[in-house]
Amino acid sequence: MATFETDKEQGTTRVGKLTFQSLPGQSYQTPLYTIYTSRGCIPNLTPDNFKNAIKTDDQSSCIINLNFWDLNENPGEKVLTSYEEHLKQKKSDDIQRPLHSLLNLKDYPVIVNIRDPQFAQQTCQANDKCPYGDTEMGRRKTNPESFNKLMQQMKPELLVPLHDASVHDVVHVSIDLPGKEEQRPSKKILKCVERSKKWISQTSTVPNASNLLFPLVAQTRPESLKQFLDQSELKESYRGVLLGDFGIMPPNKRSALLKACIQEVKATKLSKLPLFISGQDHPYDVLECVQQGVDVFDGVYPFKVAEFGMASIYPLQIQQNQTEMKMNLRDVKFVRDVKPVLEGCGCFTCKSHTRAYIHHLLNAHEMLAEVLLTILFLMVHSHNVQHYMRFFEAIRKSISSGTFEEYKNTFIKNTI
Amino acid sequence: MTEDDWRQRKEITDFQVNEISALQFEVVATCGPKARVGNLTLPHHKADTPIFMPVGTQGTIKGLTSQQLEDIGCQIILGNTYHLAQRPGPDLLDHVGGLHKFMNWNRNILTDSGGFQMVSLLDLADINEEGVNFQSPHDGSQMLLTPEHSMKIQNSIGGDIMMALDDVVSSTCPDRNRVEEATWRTLRWMDRCIASHKKQSTQNLFGIVQGGLDPHLREICLEGLIKRNCPGYAIGGLSGGESKDQFWRTVSLCTDRLPYNKPRYCMGVGYPVDLIVCVALGVDMFDCVFPCRTARFGTALVGDGSLKLRSPQFATDFNPPDVNVGGLVNEQYTRAQLHTLACKEQTGAQLITYHNICYMMKLMSDMRTAIVGNYFDKHVKNFFEQQYPDHKYPSWAVDALASVEINL
């Protein structure tokens, strides 16, 4: 279902193309961002507004990120089966992709992960029996059989098999403390590896599955990672590698670990596959990871920024003057400012509205609470998502034209 | 004192007459004695009557963009003067060139006078001849809303239709003297509104007929407003808890007397059943918060009533909300999906609001088609059968429709 080819490489940095059998004639250029959803929809953006927000010149590169625990409740197996019946009766073509049809995502490929992109750290837990997630409805468990059954029904274009990635304590250990560096792998990490080997193998056995990613475990402990890779069955059928979650650690430490991690992967059968990463969504982190050769990202950066009424204004091309990463539209200086949020931005918000209007929505919310916040978030999400998509487009363009290093360096140097 | 004595004391001989109209209105079809379809041309855009106008309050309609409202087919939306006066305020609106520019809506806007808040915030209001004294519930500050002040704010907002500041008294007010006082004061305030309205050539000032539920008082107000030659008229002071029987009789009285060639606006009327009866009685324009408000609680309006989409029965209902109502939501979503989103995701509220406004637009356009096609009476009967399959029609509606020769 999913195939990847590299278009151009510059050292470790590269642009590539993902294609999916279910969406023939479409290609998805990497590096790209898989967009966050909640209950199957993009926050505050109805389909018409969403289409506008993701538009870029190269017309591509929107993959939808769905959370497994979400899908387990909504729609869940029962409702989806019922929907399949309904489609059969209607003799609809949508029966090929029932989940996409139900969630109104027919035009897009989806990736399903057990990790919730909302949080900087992995929140999905596990014990010896099974992985579990804490949802609004309470603690929910799953196991390889029901996971396989559901995913066979749902047919996502990209799927992360079950594994144990609850590596919190490893993050603590790997922070620079004298002497602690060369510790033997903790019991916890060994457990993660054992469970993951088992579950990955059990959830990679679906016949004709061509959507699976191979998830790394112990990615922050290179020795354990090497062992894990040696002992795992690295099938031909894997379509990508999920570098997983580097948690919270100093950037230089993360850089070094990421490099080591990618090197280990490149030394195996999986070397030609696209590299996916979780939890690296801040533009600085994205640039760093792109430089190291990462292809696909997740996260909630544009939405997080919007939470406080901020609009993204980081540079989309090489520029020498200083600029801020974001603009606080609550600031009193915008009361009478009739310019668009960002001059030259083609998003719906900047084409139709002014800073004064958005400032008004932000302040008026004291009177009418969530009603205006909705439209405020609509505006700011529209802008921030569009800006983020353009950011990835800028990355792709700069790699193709050989100017990525310069873009990255001027970006980090000139933004506050 | 006799009735005539009262009249002598309060009749104003030196009244203002509205000179210019900034609209054109033409009745293009009728069906039955009172129902009619009209072409209303306002400064920003045309409008087809009978028309439903969604309420926008603070310069936005509950999570929908101006583009989406255009896509759905809205031609007039409401802005609430009281709230807009607080934020963004008349100065900022003057600076940006009016509410149309501020919210980027290029069709029509109707602003109320701020008077409705009098009834809803009555505890905090003190009404005298000068105006209405509000105490803001948010910061305790005093605001005096006079006819002149209301005109100034509405001029800054720049709506195509403005409402005069009227002395609104609740329809359930038992004090007849108070209701009468309000009737006469409405006329005196109308004169002050006309005198201080600075943009007669681009903004239409509608008069509001008050008089409570008393036909005599209504007559006084009607006569007074008609001779002041307003470009259009509103029927005010209703939808406040009066009985439906009194409601329809008052509406009918007003539509009997109001000029034929001017638009008539029944304020605050928005339940589908009420709308269709009022159209039969000759009303042209309506506004209500109901469709948008009920959407935020997860209720979708459909042909035979409404669907509480949060109810578990919709978890596996894969029909669109209402297949007869078009638009993005009915084309792309199922009740099951909206059930998941209702009251849990903002997108859910947006989608159901979108659908409900589509529903209201279709409700009105079906009525217009039926009037033009000369089968409005059949249309009304079908509508009631759909809404009340057990044929237990509300008696007020039966009476109201009988008065215009539609027999349910």
**Model pTM?**
0.91
Q: Who has greater pLDDT, A123 or A391?
A: A391
Q: What is the CA radius of gyration of chain A?
A: 22
Q: Is B136 annotated as a binding residue?
A: no
CB atoms under 10 Å from CB of A317, counted, come to: 12
d(CA B367, CA B403): 18
Residue B135: both structure tokens together: 């105490």
Chain B hits for A338, Cβ within 8 Å? 95-96
Residue of A36, A46, A101, A337 to mutate, interface with B, max B Cβ within 10 Å: A46
Look at residue A110 and give its three-state secondary structure. strand
On average, the pLDDT of chain A sits at 86
Which tens digits make up the pLDDT trace of A298-326?
A: 999 999 888 878 999 999 999 888 999 99
Cβ of B96 and A354 within 8 Å? yes
- The residue whose two tokens read 């596959």 is A273
State the nearest Cα–Cα gap between B69 and chain A, in angstroms.
12
Q: Is A41 annotated as a binding residue?
A: no
Task: Confirm if A349 and B48 have CB atoms less than 8 A apart.
Answer: no
Helix (H) or strand (E) holding B100: helix B99-103
Cβ of B345 and A39 within 8 Å? yes
Confidence band for B9, pLDDT divided at 50, 70 and 90 = low
In which order are the strands placed within the sheet that holds B132-135?
B125-127, B132-135, B142-145
Q: What is the CA radius of gyration of chain B?
A: 21
d(CA B151, CA B164): 8
Choose the closest CB to A364 out of B58, B96, B350: B58
Residue B7 has pLDDT above 70, yes or no: no
Helix (H) or strand (E) holding A240: strand A240-245
Task: Confirm if A229 and A264 have CB atoms less than 8 A apart.
Answer: yes
Give me the mean pLDDT over the B173-190 stretch: 90
- The residue whose two tokens read 């030394």 is A267
Give the nearest chain A residue to B83 (CA atoms): A367
How far is CA A329 from its chain centroid?
Answer: 27
**Span of A366-370, B59-63, B143-147, B273-277 with lowest mean pLDDT:** A366-370
Nearest Cα residue to A164 out of A119, A205, A194, A184: A194
CB atoms under 10 Å from CB of B162, counted, come to: 26
Residue A148: what residue type? N
**Catalytic residue list of B:** 112, 287
Which tens digits make up the pLDDT trace of B60-86?
A: 667 788 889 999 999 999 988 888 887
Confidence band for A115, pLDDT divided at 50, 70 and 90 = confident
Cβ of A361 and B63 within 8 Å? no
Chain A 13-72, CB below 8 Å of chain B: which residues? 38-49
Domains of chain A and CATH, by start: 2-30+62-299 (3.20.20.105), 310-414 (no CATH)
Complete DSSP assignment for B326-392? -SHHHHH--HHHHHHHTTT-HHHHHHHHHHHHHHHHHHHHHHHHHHHTT-HHHHHHHHHHHH-TT--
In which order are the strands placed within the sheet that holds A131-135?
A125-126, A131-135, A138-141
d(CA A117, CA A278): 7
Task: Confirm if A86 and A130 have CB atoms less than 8 A apart.
Answer: no
Residue B342: both structure tokens together: 């209702």
User: Would an 8 Å CB–CB cutoff place A98 in contact with chain B?
Assistant: no
The angle at the Cα of A166, spanning A162 to A170, to the nearest 5 degrees, equals 135
Task: Confirm if B280 and B395 have CB atoms less than 8 A apart.
Answer: no
Which tens digits make up the pLDDT trace of B228-285?
A: 999 999 999 887 788 999 999 999 999 999 999 999 999 989 899 999 999 999 999 9
d(CA B101, CA B96): 7
Nearest Cα residue to B110 out of B67, B55, B156: B55
Residue A29 has pLDDT above 60, yes or no: yes
Residue B115: both structure tokens together: 């008077």
How many interface pairs between A and B have CB atoms less than 8 angstroms apart? 120
Classify residue B124 by its DSSP letter.
G
Share of chain B above pLDDT 90, in %: 70
Q: What is the pLDDT of residue A217?
A: 85
d(CA B259, CA B262): 6
Task: Confirm if A155 and A99 have CB atoms less than 8 A apart.
Answer: yes
d(CA A332, CA A327): 12
Nearest Cα residue to B315 out of A371, A74, A256, A170: A74
Burial class (CB in 10 A: 0-12, 13-18, 19+), A367: middle
d(CA B43, CA B407): 39
Residue B382: what residue type? N
d(CA A4, CA A12): 16
Confidence band for A167, pLDDT divided at 50, 70 and 90 = low
Which tens digits make up the pLDDT trace of B293-342?
A: 899 899 999 988 899 999 999 999 999 999 999 999 999 999 999 999 99
CA dihedral B59, B61, B65, B67 (to 10 degrees): -90
Task: Confirm if A70 and A80 have CB atoms less than 8 A apart.
Answer: no
d(CA A303, CA A326): 12
Report the Cα–Cα distance between both ends of chain B, in Å, rounded.
45
Q: What is the pLDDT of residue A169?
A: 44
